[in-house]
A = this chain, B = another copy of it.
Amino acid sequence: MEDFIAYNPTTLHFGKTALSSLAATLMEYGAKVLLVYGKGSVKKSGSYDKIMGFLKEAGLDVVEYSGIKSNPVIEDVDAAAETGRKNNVDVILAVGGGSVIDSSKIISVTIPVTHSGWDFFTGKAKAVTAIPLVTVLTVAATGSEMNPFAVITNHQTNLKTSYGSSLTFPRHSFLDPSLTLTVPRDYTAYGIADLIAHAFEAWFGIGETTLTDRFVLAIAQEAMQYGPELLHDLHNYKLREKIMFAATMALNGMTMYGRKAGDWGVHDAGHVLSLLYDIPHGASLTIVYPAWMRLFKDRISERIAGLGSGLFGKTLSAEESIDRIEEFFHTLGCPTRLSEINIPGDPREKIYQAMVQCKVNGANMKFLEGDYYRLIDLFL
Contacts and interface: CB of A to CB of B under 8 A. Distances in A.
Interface of A: 1-9, 11-18, 209-211, 214-215, 217-219, 221-222, 226, 238, 241-242, 245-246, 249, 254, 257-258
A218 B211 contact: yes
A222 B214 contact: yes
A177 to B, nearest CB: 9
A11 B7 contact: yes
12 contacts: A1-B238, A1-B241, A1-B242, A3-B17, A3-B18, A6-B11, A7-B12, A209-B245, A210-B226, A214-B219, A215-B218, A245-B257
A214 B218 contact: yes
A12 B1 contact: no
A261 B354 CA distance: 51
Contact of A5 (B11, B209, B210, B257): B11
A16 B2 CA distance: 9
A140 B209 CA distance: 17
Contact of A211 (B8, B211, B219): B219
B6 A14 contact: yes
B7 A211 contact: no
Contacts of A14: 1, 3-6, 257-258
Contacts of A7: 11-12
10 closest Cβ pairs, A-B complex: A3-B15, A214-B218, A6-B12, A7-B11, A211-B222, A3-B17, A1-B241, A4-B14, A9-B9, A5-B13
